[in-house]
Structure formats: structure tokens, C-alpha cells
Amino acid sequence: MVGYTESLTDPSYEGQILVLTYPLIGNYGVPARPVDLDILPVEFESSRIHIAALVVGAYTEEFSHFLAQSSLGAWLKENNVPAIYGVDTRSLTKRIREKGSMLGKVLARNPDSLKAGRRISLGASPSQVPSRASSPHSSWRDDFIDIPFYDPNQKNLVAAVSITSPRIYKATNTSLLHPSGRPIRVLVLDVGMKYNQIRCFVERGVELKVVPWDYDFLAELEPYDGLFVSNGPGDPTMVKTTIARLSKALENADKPIFGICLGHQLLALAAGATTSKMKYGNRGHNIPCTDAISGRCYITSQNHGYQVDTETLPTGWKELFKNANDGSNEGIYAVDKPFFSVQFHPESTPGPRDTEFLFDVFIQNVFDCAKTGISGPISMPGGKVEHPVRADVKKVIILGSGGLSIGQAGEFDYSGSQAIKALKEEGIYTIMVNPNIATIATSKGLADKVYFLPVTPDFVRKIIKYEKPDGIYVTFGGQTALNVGIKLKDEFEGLGVKVLGTPIDTIITTEDRQLFASAMEEIGEKCAESSTAVNFDEAAIAAKEIGYPVIVRAAYALGGLGSGFAQDEAGLKALCEKAFATSPQVLVERSMKGWKEIEYEVVRDCRDNCITVCNMEVSFRYPYPYSATDLTRQQNFDPLGIHTGDSIVVAPSQTLSDSDYNMLRTTAINVIRHLGVIGECNIQYALNPNSQEYCIIEVSRL
């Protein structure tokens, strides 16, 4: 969805026509071009654009991002890279899926045809060519300047993208030291290296010596402690010299080796396996891969057209990761030696940061080998494959929401009905408690039994005693069901019923503003400066310390009920009167009115697999008063402070860069794991439109 500046500068795309299928491209512009390459700018992955041409469906010259210095089109023109939009990229993708990867070319119009004003109908038969054409043409090709097809795979693309002389990158954080006192150094074989791979090492205290693709590292005179083989473009069999040297390094087995993407394929070839060209490859930011050791599934970023043939791995090597979509190989490791590699991009950029821990795995192995002098196998986190014991339930109660309102609207009817279907597929007897007859979840024949009774502690307690269920879900009915779960927390065990999904303690943590702020502080995340209050006097003291304007949030409330902005003490008093009428506690916090409001939908299972389903951009900061130009240039009209139910929401986000998007995505996953949510939830942020400063507003809809 994001990351076009990173993708266009990825050396792995050297010589390729890149098709972006995201519905709108160019919306956050392009940052200032890097001048000092020693800085390794975050928004770019190399010093130049590597693609041969760009094809997109929809493009905009209007952009919105605090770092943007120009449009995407202007950047492409600077680099003489042709691009075309208005293409049905979905149809093009289907054709590639059916026929496989193919050669292509982007043609420019013939100036003579433009002067003649001829109309063109690509792909039309001669009988369909409009009669208004000034002269008959046998083919639309005559109106374009034709060029021969170019097959980049016939060229040594690695030589075109690799550096030409060695270069040292010092650690940017506290250096890891060798027992001799010198910095730990990793020798990097650059076969098309991305900047973020360099960042992932130097930010972890490792010194790098990056060398050209054909560098004889076997004859290296300066000491180093590990070997890293980068990503890169093209057919891996084209760099035979590099493969031969890697094969010798594997025989020596005196230093840990880690490879990514092309580096993965080269390591496999050096070990004695084979590679093959895939029909259409794997390219995208959301491709699932399963860890063969732990059984965990990770969302990965990928860009490759070749694969390692798992069945050809020699004795002593095993598969480390497998693609969960097509079953292709995504990683290998040596059973008793310090060698491993992965096909996907753990350094991401663009894409999720979920597997960046693999750099820690390699660096730890390098450090241990340097310290002990013994080259041992890698140690992966996550343990061994285990099949967790599932809750033994045969009858389950699901609490609905009752009447639809802000905070518990139609989404809970949808999620509740889906829960019923899932439980019935498992052969579990389902009981729905919901007084609202106008819902799908209470439709005849869906649940095994429906109680059209109020969702209150008294009625739920009576139903439990009568039905004697094994389990209960309190997370499919909005605030009403959550409040019932909290009130009956200490009774469930005595009633013989197990709470399924998110634990009640987690619900309490997210509902209690002070507990939530403390939980975020435990993992180094921050909420807005705030203070809880149980009466107006406490709220007034808190507001005075924080400084007006402030926002007042009611705890345990439906979708922001009783919440709002206070410009002064009079406004605070009015809000507190409303809030304390429905809630025992309020949170008085720093106002971030005018910031972007960003939401992520997150799902986590009992095995700690965690993904973000989508994200939404609720608001964008505007100068006041609005002008007609403002309203046509931006896609979001409401600043933070307008309730989501009353505002314009864009999904997915439109003004976040790859760095913004994945910063918040990574935070969302860390927060949900720390809280212990099991199931679906929503995390909301306030994001400063002029920087990457953000605060967590809340986690809701557990």
C-alpha cells in the first residue's frame, strides 16, 4: 500500500518494469533527494532509481506529507524514467498470473501520429478502428515508436548494482566488541544491497565492511567475524565466481554466514542445492511465511522471481521457512553449522518489520562464535512447534450488544454472527443473548438458541445457571457486553464457565485510563500527557497542571460518550457533569486537536500470531478557516476531535509513508501482544502532521 520511493530505489528491481496495483499512487509525494549518501536517508534504498519503467492504475500530482518536496512524476522526470497511468493493473496482474512473468515494453507515441490527431484503440480489430481516423492503419503499433524487447536476466545485473570498491560503515550505537577489544565486524558481499540492511547492522552496534560482488573475501587480510550476502537482482546462476567462493567458505565453516533474497539463493547454490525460475515470483508486502522450527507465521515483504528447490538441499541442511501461500521455500539453515538464509526481506522497507529479529539472531551467533571460538548453529526464538491445548468447550454463550449505538453498532452484529458460524463449524452449541431482534446474529437458524433478554449481569447470571455452558464470549457485544464481563469477572469461575478470547483483566486494563497509560509506559510507548480524576475538583487540578485546552475522556463509556474538548474551566465543568453521569472516572489529557487520527485493526491468536487487517485515516489537519482549495486538495476534512462516527474516514490511509505506516503497525502489534488481547481489536493514534510524533489514544472493541 505504501513504499513507492523505497521500491523504485531497490536494486533488486534493476531493469524491470514495475507495476504497482495499489489504487492511488503519488499521494504522499517524494522527499528531498539524498545529497550526502553517508546519511543513508530513510526514505530511499539506494542512490538512484533502478526500475526501467513504472505502470500504475491511478496517479495524483497532489500530495500531502510533511517530508514531501515534489511529486512522484517530477522525481521520475529527473531520472529519465518513463511512467504510465490509467492502466487496468488488475487485468494486467491477472494476465501475468495466467501466463507467468513476461517481457514487456512501454512505448512513446510517434510525433507524426500526434500531429495527424489519429485516435488509437489498443487491441481493437481493424473493423473496430474508428472511421474518423485521417488515414487507414493496419496496426496501432504504427502510431508508436517501437523498440526491441530487453531481457534483463541475460545480463549480469549484480555487476550493474554492486559497489565498485570496499567501504566501511561504523556502528551508530554502542559498538559490540570482539574479545580482543576491536569492534565486531561483518563483511558484506554487496550483490545489490539495500540501505536498510546497512542500518539494521550499524544500529545494532556492528561495524560493516561492504565489498563488491566479485571481491575475493577468502583472501581478506583485515579481521572480520561474520559474512553477510545481500539481496540483489537477476538469475543467481549468473554469478558463478561468487558461488564458488561461498562454497569454499562453507567448507571452512569458521565464520557465521547470513543471506537474504539473492544472498539466500547464492548460499543454497554454494551448499549444493539448485534454484529455478518461478512462473511469476512473489512480490508484495503481506506474504505469510511459516517458521518450520516454531510453527509461527510471519508477514513478510518479498521481491523475487527465483526460488530455492527445497528437495535438492544436501544432507545437513533443512528448510527454515516456507511460503504459506504457494509452499515455496523461504529459508534454509545448516543443522550443525552457523549458516542460514531467507528468501524474504527481514529488513523490509517497504513492508512490515515483523522478521527484523533475524538480524539479532545472526549478530548473536557472530558474537557467540567470536567469544567462544566455536562455530555453532543458529538459535531461533519461539521454541519448537507445539500444538496448544484448545479449550474443551461444547456449549458457549455469546453476549450481543443490544440496541445499536455509537461504540457498538453494526460491526458487532457482523462479528457476532461470524463467531456463531465459526463455533458451529466446530460442532459447538451456541447461545446468543441479545434483546435486539433486528440483527443478523439473532436470525432464526443461526445460533442454536437465542435469549431476547437485556444484556445485564442479572440476566446473564441466570442464563448461565440455567444453561450451564462451558465458555462465554464477552467481546462480540461492544461496551455493553464488556461491562457485563467486568462485573461478573469474579463469578465466572464459580459458575463453571470459562471466559474465551481476551481475558477480563486485559479488558479492564484497556478500559481504565490510568491502568492503560501505565501498561503503555511499561513497553516504552506513550499516551498523551494525562491524569485520571474521579470528581470535578481532581479534574480541574489535572487540567491546570497540563494546561488548557484539554480533552476529557470518560472511562467505561460507549464510543466516547461524555468526552470532548475543554478550552477553559467552565467547559471542563460542563464536560465533567456529563461524563460523571455515566462513568466513575475520567481522563484529562493534553489536547492534540488538529493531529491526524489513525486507526489499525489488529488480530492476534492464542499462539501469538499477530497481524494488522487494515488501517484507516480519520482526519487531517487544516488551516482555519477552510477554503475551497483546501477541500479539493485533501481527502480528509475533519481534524482530530471530531468523533469517528461523525467524520469522513478513508481506508486505507492516504497520507502515510512506508516509514509512518510501519512505525504505527509495529507499535500496534507490540501493544496488542503486551496487553494479551486474543481476537480482534482496534488501536487508535494521534499523529502529528508535521513529524512522526505520535500518541496512543486507546485500544478498543476487544
Considering the chain, what percentage of its residues have pLDDT values greater than 70?
89
Place of cell 470518560: 554
Bridge partners, 565 (sequence order): 551
357 shares its domain with 432: no
Strand order in the sheet with 83-84: 17-20, 53-56, 83-84
In a domain, 676, yes or no: yes
Q: Look at residue 208 in the predicted model and tell me its pLDDT.
A: 98
301 shares its domain with 342: yes
302 shares its domain with 271: yes
Mean pLDDT within 357-377: 95
In a domain, 299, yes or no: yes
Taking each helix axis from N to C end, the angle separating 504-511 and 478-487, rounded to the nearest 10 degrees, works out to 120
Which letter does DSSP use for residue 520 in this model? H
Residue among 478, 508, 336, 483 nearest 412 (CA): 478
pLDDT digits (tens, 9 = 90+) for 301-357: 999 999 999 999 999 999 999 999 999 999 999 999 999 999 999 999 999 999 999
User: What's the structural domain count of the chain?
Assistant: 5
Q: Look at residue 591 in the predicted model and tell me its pLDDT.
A: 87
In a domain, 544, yes or no: no
Task: Specify whether the CB–CB gap between 479 and 560 falls below 8 A.
Answer: no
Is residue 433 scored above 50 in pLDDT? yes
pLDDT digits (tens, 9 = 90+) for 100-113: 888 999 998 888 77
- On average, the pLDDT of the chain sits at 88
Task: Specify whether the CB–CB gap between 120 and 50 falls below 8 A.
Answer: no
310 shares its domain with 176: yes
Give dist(CA 554, CA 575) in Å, integer: 9
Instruction: Give the CATH number for residue 173.
Output: 3.40.50.880
Domain end residue (candidates: 445, 477, 500)? 500
What is the three-class DSSP state of 466?
helix
339 shares its domain with 368: yes
Q: Look at residue 409 in the predicted model and tell me its pLDDT.
A: 65
331 shares its domain with 479: no
Instruction: Give the CATH number for residue 13.
Output: 3.50.30.20
Catalytic residues: 261, 345, 347
364 shares its domain with 242: yes
Is residue 641 scored above 70 in pLDDT? no
Q: Look at residue 561 in the predicted model and tell me its pLDDT.
A: 67
Q: Look at residue 644 in the predicted model and tell me its pLDDT.
A: 56
346 shares its domain with 204: yes
Give dist(CA 563, CA 559) in Å, integer: 9
Question: CA angle 97-102-104, nearest 5°?
Answer: 120
Give the range with max mean pLDDT: 502-516, 584-598, 660-674: 660-674
Which letter does DSSP use for residue 188 in this model? E
In a domain, 213, yes or no: yes
Task: Specify whether the CB–CB gap between 593 and 640 falls below 8 A.
Answer: yes
73 shares its domain with 97: yes
325 shares its domain with 462: no
In a domain, 529, yes or no: no
The sign of the dihedral angle between the CA atoms of 411, 416, 422, 424 is negative
10 Å Cβ neighbour count for 613? 10
Q: Look at residue 128 in the predicted model and tell me its pLDDT.
A: 43
Which range marks the domain in which residue 169 is found?
Answer: 157-372
365 shares its domain with 483: no
In a domain, 526, yes or no: no
pLDDT digits (tens, 9 = 90+) for 46-71: 999 999 999 999 999 999 999 999 99
Is residue 201 scored above 90 in pLDDT? yes
**Cα atoms in the 13 Å half-sphere on the side-chain side of 195:** 21
Residues sharing a CB contact under 8 Å with residue 77, sequence separation 6 or more, in sequence order? none
In a domain, 505, yes or no: no
71 shares its domain with 126: no
Bridge partners, 177 (sequence order): 183
Mean pLDDT within 383-410: 78
In a domain, 514, yes or no: no
Strand order in the sheet with 550-554: 530-533, 586-590, 550-554, 564-566
